[in-house]
Amino acid sequence: MVRHTLQYPKQAHNTVNRYKHQAVYNLTTIHTIINTTPVLHVSFTPDHADPFPAILPMIGQMGSFSRPSASLGDPLDCYLHGYVSSRIMNLARGSPDSQGLAVCIAASKVDGLVLTLTPNSHNYNYRSSVLFGYATLVEDLDEKLWAMELITNSVVPGRWSETRVPPNKGEMASTQILRVRIDSGSAKVREGVPNDEKGDLEDEDVLGRVWTGVLPLYEQFGEPVPGPYNRVQEVPEHVLRYKEALNKGNSDYAIAAAKKDAPVKKKEPGEED
């Protein structure tokens, strides 16, 4: 059976206008960037009388409570974890919009420094995603516990079951989960070697004295450091396994991205040379 790749429809607020050839709208890519970024930045309008938007670093994950086996290529909600009386939670609780509090969720990963012949053409290899949606409070206890487990296991897979669970009454009372129903989204991805203007590439003096290339950049876990009251002698397997897998996956991706062909700008319909 053929499985179609789902994409977010292009709308005014999610359409990429700069470097359109690096734009991605498929759900799998966008959701993967969100789920592999440790800190998401969530922006919203705190008060229409206040000219400044608010932006908060939060942890969250894409998922579906009604369809737990859904893949990252399926339509999903974004669950955000926070304190019960924080400003964003209070705004969502009192939102006059029946859809919920309008939010924008951003995630970025830098995979390499692209060093070129001129300062103007320096770049990053990177992956970034932006989601637009409406946030509402999760009131159902089963869904709240499911989301808390989902988010905890995004820190280290399998961590929830390796801790003291379920959360006690105080922990449940102080924790609030936001469910963001996604309206649209997009991503931008840059992979590849440096690229420079034709004039610079034909300048032998510049070519002979300026080093060009990519400096891969990737997140890595160090060696586990036991806490002051830890009594478990051996580091749990689920922690070591995740450390090794993430370290290898991040370095492999960044190094591979550094060797790919530079992205080629595609001519848009009606665009002049």
Confidence of residue 176 (pLDDT cuts 50, 70, 90): very high
Q: Give percent of the chain with pLDDT exceeding 70.
A: 96
The pLDDT of residue 265 = 79
Confidence of residue 273 (pLDDT cuts 50, 70, 90): very low
Backbone angles phi, psi at 99, to 5 degrees: -75, -25
Token pair recorded at residue 144 = 């709240």
pLDDT tens for 66-108 read 999 999 999 999 999 999 999 999 999 999 889 999 999 999 9
Q: pTM, whole model, 2 decimals?
A: 0.93
Are 77 and 63 in contact by the 8 Å Cβ rule? The answer is: yes
Backbone angles phi, psi at 126, to 5 degrees: -155, 165
**Lowest-confidence segment of 22-26, 124-128, 204-208, 263-267 by average pLDDT:** 263-267
Is the pLDDT assigned to residue 20 strictly greater than 50? yes
The pLDDT of residue 96 = 86
Mean pLDDT on 189-196: 97
Are 186 and 30 in contact by the 8 Å Cβ rule? The answer is: yes
Token pair recorded at residue 26 = 């498929």
Alpha helices for 66-155 (secondary structure H): 87-93, 141-155
The pLDDT of residue 267 = 64
The pLDDT of residue 48 = 83
**Lowest-confidence segment of 1-10, 135-144, 160-169 by average pLDDT:** 1-10
Confidence of residue 268 (pLDDT cuts 50, 70, 90): low
Locus of tokens 């509402």: 136
Is the pLDDT assigned to residue 269 strictly greater than 90? no
The pLDDT of residue 21 = 93
Contacts of 13 (CB under 8 A, 6+ apart): 132, 184
Rounded Cα distance, 37 and 154, in Å: 10
pLDDT tens for 197-254 read 999 999 999 999 999 999 999 999 999 999 999 999 999 999 999 999 999 999 999 9
Are 87 and 105 in contact by the 8 Å Cβ rule? The answer is: no
Is the pLDDT assigned to residue 41 strictly greater than 90? yes
Is the pLDDT assigned to residue 114 strictly greater than 70? yes
